[in-house]
Structure 1
Amino acid sequence: MTETNGNANRQIARAAGTVMFAILLGQITGLARGVIVARAFGASPELDAFFAANRVSETLFLLVAGGALGSAFIPMFTGLLAKNEKDSAWRLASSIANAVTLTLSLLALLVAVFAPQVVRYALAPGLSSDPQLFTLTISLLRIQLISAVLFGIGGLFVGILNAHQVFLLPALTPAFYQIGIIFGAIVLAPSLGIYGLAWGVVIGSVLYVALQLPSLVKLITRHSSFSAFHISLGLQDSNVRQVLLLMGPRLIGVAVVQLNFWVNTWLASQMASGSVSGLYYGFSLMLMAQAAIAQSVAIAAMPTFSAQHALGQTDEMRTSLASSLRGVILLALPASIGLMLLREPLISMLYQRGKFDGNDVQIVSWALLWYAAGIVGHSIMEILTRAFYAQHDTKTPVIIGTIAMGLNVLFSILFAKLFASIGWMPHGGLALANSFATALEAATLFIVMRKRLKGIEGPHIMGGVIPSTAAAIVMALSIFGWLSVGKNLSTWILALIGVMIGGGIYFGMLWILRVPELQYIVSGVLRRLKRN
């Protein structure tokens, strides 16, 4: 490994550690949000309406802001900065900010007008059969549309700060979003009911934007970039046109992914009461682990991948990508197994209080079982898609993702029917479909990227996968034994000691097998302790 490769990988590792800390804080806050909301509303029809309504604003944000920022804006903006074309970079940021704000505002207004039709025919027909739930879902949808516009602006701020290697503050913003919802649940919900949660979403989105403003203003002032800002869409700018061109395929990909979530909501709304909420809670717990593991590395690696591509450093990018993949597999594998085995005591420990009863625990744990099986696939895909976007290639992952998500919809229908026919809760089939399709997508992306880069240092990756798998097997047997021995203990003891046993044995095995990543982390911690 050359010195340049080592520096790039260390930069990614340091940034990933920073982002992981912030994401963990955000996930802990989100977990607290989930506990508070579950206690207040359980897995009730009202909460089903809230989650269904939230799907609309989330889709609008991901279609416009997510598609533009993740796949097109960040690589272009970072590439211009790497080439020291700062004025062009900031003009691009101004134009995209105007476009995102205008587009999201118009779409939000359009959806608000046609909200009854959206809910009845596209989102949740099962909820439409109850007039009160139908009206409630429409009202909650309209309130939460405000957050789509704010998240679009905030997402652009995140991209700008990340491109300047500022990771901590943007990564903390999700925690403040969760704080807004917690405020809605604790302060507003007692008087406003489920409407308090909807207004909490809006408050959280305001905090999401406001937290980043001081750092953004400081950054703009430092680079004297105020002159680059304007009120036009900048369509005459070749960089803006390139972002829009790159954004097109990505929009299709995001639309297909969101279509799958809409199909799941559509199907779950016609299943047993609480199925929509069960899928949401299960997916959120899976995403909590995946975000801390893969998103932290992907967010940190994206600017490095983009700069390496802009400077023609293919060998360096190959090495950085291999190291990133090896690192996420090292952490995703035990997370997947741990959540699958400890799902019931964990969910009971976290949520079973207030209106959230034992039946709700079974609904959520059944979804989590099948979602958790897909953590490795989700994590690998998270890294690989960023590598494609860094190469200004949005078509390849979109084509592969579109096929995979099309299969996801098909699998959702088939698996739900299969589960129902054998007496299993059918919403688990929807979760399994997501995990299966994601695994196929990740495998295909890996094959294509390996061909493009003429290899992704397979022996280096397998050098981490083999000991990780061996350690995970020993960990699984240990947790299974603990669950058998302690089955009559309280869920708190069962869950907490289970996590400690699993984590201790897994990382202990990695230490015995001399996995360098673990030894590097331990050595770094020891060095810091000595300095203090």
Structure 2
Amino acid sequence: MSELVKSSGAMALATLISRILGMVREIVYARFMGDGWVAGAFQLAFLVPNLFRRLLGEGALTAAFIPIFKEKEKTAGQSEMWRAANAVVSGLVLASVVVVLTVVVGITIFLASGVSVPRETLLMLRLLRIMFPYMIFVCLAAVFMGMLNARGYFFVPAMGATVLNVVMIASVLLVAPLMGATLEEQIFALAIGVLVAGIGQAIFQLPALYKEGYRPRWVTPVGNEVVIRTVQQMIPGMLGVAAFQINVLITQSMAFGVDASIVASYNYAVRLMEFPQGVFGVSIATYLLPTLAGLVAEKKYLEYKQLLREGVAHLIFVNLFASAMLVVLAEPTVRLLFERGRFGPDSTLRVAFALQCLAPGLVAFSAVNIFARAFYALSDTSTPMKIGVCSLGLNLVLTYLWLSLFPMGYKQGAMGLANTMTSVANATILVFALTKKVGGLDLKATFRDIKISILGTIVASILAATTWCGLKRTIGYETFLTRVMGVALPGGLAMVVYFWIGIKFRCNPAIQVARTIISRLPFKK
């Protein structure tokens, strides 16, 4: 049984739980604020501190620090390993506090100046001022999670996001009604919920770390050798891994200037796409970094290549199917999850179109994370950085182009198409660069699995589309039950056929995933 499937599978289970709660959060958000200008202002404000979570929690800081953390464990013992961790944590706290104070004070001065700005921008800045300190705690949580991953903990760290989602849901249901009568007033409850959720997520990681022997101590980061090495590795990586996230912030700012509601419509589509990406793509990438770094430290390069090939094959098998289902079943999925309260039928069509433009890039989005981590395990952060910068420029050009060409009412799709094209280019260049760096990846067996996955996806997509069209004509989608059937029946049949094709043609990821599921059934004997 593949160690990759078992280890990343445990994390995927925890991530699945948190992602389900995250989807519940989005459902609550959609009912509460719809996809109008207030929702757009909140989404853009949340993007700014959330960018740091993506940079650090799923990117540059942990990618730079984990190999050093593992190296200290192997060469200097646990005492020096924990000291190195405290040095990085101390440096992170110092830097993030300075950044937060600068931004919050700057926003306060700007708002007090009386400069005339549109109501959408004014609300966005007021929300951002409340939410920006969230970055301190979510960055701490990211480092704690990376340390736990390096110590072999994957389930507990992934469950940290559950705390965040529970608090944010509670802020809508319990706090928002107390904030005022209008949506513009009640939206501030969500901002407060974001800040409290970040604090809870960081605290949640500490018991497991304490059990492993970690004790928080202040270690002066200035001049510290570990901090210097981490920063040197991190700076280029912040552009490399986070190119997509920086693109999101810049391009959504562009869209916000055109129409604030575009940001809200597009972000609901992003959340739907992030569900499979987070459950499997991020889980595999998170497992791979410390494991690949350990293999490199032991100079086991053949095992490094084999594990990477296995990870890519599993990623493509799962996310290619998920991508196709998100495209084919975009409308019924959005209608089932979001269409209630302030989120009406027109909102469904807008979000579904954005999802259909964004979802084809799901495999590429996830692959960028994996291949970037493969470079980081080799202590190479400059290559992904250079490729990321080029991708950033390409995305800005494509976003401007498609926003100019797409008509009003469809511009959220322009953003999805630009990001899909950019991520495909980014992933492709990363593959070629890594192949050249490690002297080939021997992808023949992987290509065979990919061909089977493509065949299964085509058949499954045709089946899902035909089934959905038939249900739409016969039973409609007016009730909750018919909406559930409109997603579950086409998607379920497609999944069964997809796995059957994978197993029938001996696709390795299909067989290993099936064996893992069977091994955990209570009646397997």
Q: What's the TM-score once normalised by structure 1's chain length? A: 0.91
Distance 1:522 1:217, change over 3 A: same
Deviation at 1:522, TM superposition (A): 3.1
The equivalent of 1:124 in structure 2 is: none
Distance 1:365 1:159, change over 3 A: same
2:228 pairs with 1:241: yes
Distance 1:85 1:338, change over 3 A: same
Distance 1:89 1:350, change over 3 A: same
1-structure distance, mates of 2:463, 2:109: 52
1-structure distance, mates of 2:218, 2:224: 13
Question: Are 1:82 and 1:310, in contact at CA under 8 Å, matched by a contact in 2?
Answer: no
Question: Are 2:14 and 2:158, in contact at CA under 8 Å, matched by a contact in 1?
Answer: yes
Aligned AA (2:62): G
The one-character-per-residue Cα deviations of 1:384-433 (angstroms, maximum 9, x if unpaired) are 1111111111100010011011100110001111223xx76122111111
SS at match of 1:457: coil
Deviation at 1:182, TM superposition (A): 0.1
Residues 419-458 of structure 1: matches in 2 within 5 Å? 419-420=406-407, 425-458=410-443
The equivalent of 1:306 in structure 2 is: 293
The equivalent of 1:104 in structure 2 is: 96
Distance 1:360 1:526, change over 3 A: closer
2:84 pairs with 1:85: no
Aligned AA (2:79): D
Question: Are 2:56 and 2:142, in contact at CA under 8 Å, matched by a contact in 1?
Answer: no
Q: Which of 395, 398, 414 lines up with 1:411 in the alignment? A: 398
2-structure distance, mates of 1:161, 1:255: 22
Deviation at 1:241, TM superposition (A): 1.9
Aligned AA (2:377): A
Deviation at 1:103, TM superposition (A): 0.8
Deviation at 1:186, TM superposition (A): 0.5
Q: Which of 357, 360, 373 lines up with 1:370 in the alignment? A: 357
The equivalent of 1:196 in structure 2 is: 189
Gaps of 5+ in 2: 180-185, 478-482
The equivalent of 2:203 in structure 1 is: 210
Question: Are 2:35 and 2:347, in contact at CA under 8 Å, matched by a contact in 1?
Answer: yes
The equivalent of 1:54 in structure 2 is: 46
Distance 1:87 1:31, change over 3 A: same
Aligned AA (2:146): G
Aligned AA (1:384): F
2:338 pairs with 1:351: yes
Deviation at 1:282, TM superposition (A): 0.7
Q: Supply the RMSD in Å over aligned alpha carbons.
A: 2.3
The equivalent of 2:310 in structure 1 is: 323
Distance 1:118 1:294, change over 3 A: farther
Identity %: 26
SS at match of 1:270: helix
2:483 pairs with 1:495: no
Aligned AA (1:232): T
Deviation at 1:257, TM superposition (A): 4.0
2:212 pairs with 1:219: yes
Aligned AA (1:282): A
Deviation at 1:136, TM superposition (A): 2.2
Aligned length: 509
Deviation at 1:212, TM superposition (A): 1.0
Distance 1:276 1:334, change over 3 A: same
Gaps of 5+ in 1: 1-5, 121-127
Bigger mean CA deviation after superposition, 266-275 or 431-440: 266-275
The equivalent of 1:514 in structure 2 is: 506
Distance 1:266 1:481, change over 3 A: same
1-structure distance, mates of 2:89, 2:121: 35
SS at match of 1:266: helix
2:42 pairs with 1:42: no
2:220 pairs with 1:232: yes
Aligned AA (1:476): S
The equivalent of 2:470 in structure 1 is: 485
Deviation at 1:114, TM superposition (A): 1.7
2-structure distance, mates of 1:139, 1:524: 48
Distance 1:203 1:525, change over 3 A: same
1-structure distance, mates of 2:519, 2:123: 56
SS at match of 2:133: helix
The one-character-per-residue Cα deviations of 1:57-101 (angstroms, maximum 9, x if unpaired) are 123444566655232111211222244632332121111101111
The equivalent of 1:3 in structure 2 is: none
1-structure distance, mates of 2:3, 2:58: 25
Deviation at 1:284, TM superposition (A): 1.1
The one-character-per-residue Cα deviations of 1:345-369 (angstroms, maximum 9, x if unpaired) are 0000000001110111112111111
SS at match of 1:374: helix
Residues 454-465 of structure 1: matches in 2 within 5 Å? 454-465=439-450
1-structure distance, mates of 2:433, 2:43: 36
Q: What's the TM-score once normalised by structure 2's chain length? A: 0.92
Aligned AA (2:514): V
Bigger mean CA deviation after superposition, 380-389 or 69-78: 69-78
